[in-house]
Amino acid sequence: MAITFGSEFRVHRKREEVYDFLTNPNRFAPLLPDFESMTVDDECHCTVNVKVGIAHIRGTATVHLQLVEAERPRRALYQGKGNVPGGSVNLTVRFDLEEDSAGTDVAWKGEAQLFGAIISVAGGLLEPLAKKNVQRLIEGLQKALG
């Protein structure tokens, strides 16, 4: 099951500041909904743990993130693989940054591919919940960069 998402938002910060924030997991990861913990391996790899709960599936999702494209200060692309209760997930998230005199436009898009029993157990609930949590994350990013 694939879930795609994306949008744009504007912040009143320089593009370099926004890029530095988005490529520093110590700054952005705690903004993830239901964040539990994180381990940073190096400047391009980290492991994030978040609580998950949908239908009868509850537990911790562990996602290994890698910054695979870092084009300072224009673009950052993350890829992740992880385990969620009842399945696994592969994801990508890309941020494209454009600056003008009023601030920085952040265009972002992503995709999560879910595999396993979680799809049959929570099927129709997954996409609305994922989109709600992504919106919470984006609101957190906007507030932190505000």
* Structure tokens belonging to residue 20: 């530095």
Q: What is the rounded average pLDDT of the residues 87-102?
A: 95
Instruction: Outline where the chain has alpha helix (H).
Output: 15-22, 25-28, 117-145
Q: What is the mean pLDDT of residues 59-65?
A: 94
Range of lowest pLDDT (65-69, 76-80, 111-115): 111-115
Strand order in the sheet with 103-115: 2-11, 103-115, 87-100, 75-84, 57-71, 45-54, 35-42
Helix, strand or coil, per DSSP, at residue 1? coil
- Is the pLDDT at 108 greater than 80, yes or no? yes
- The alpha carbons of the chain give a radius of gyration, in whole angstroms, of 15
Average pLDDT for the chain: 92
Rounded to an integer, the average pLDDT of 69-84 is 96
The 3-class SS string of 117-143 reads HHHHHHHHHHHHHHHHHHHHHHHHHHH
Helices and strands (H and E) in the chain: how many: 3, 7
Domain covering 2-145: architecture: 2-Layer Sandwich (3.30)
Could you tell me the pTM of the whole model? 0.89
How confident is the model over 119-144, as pLDDT tens digits?
Answer: 777 667 778 888 888 889 999 999 99
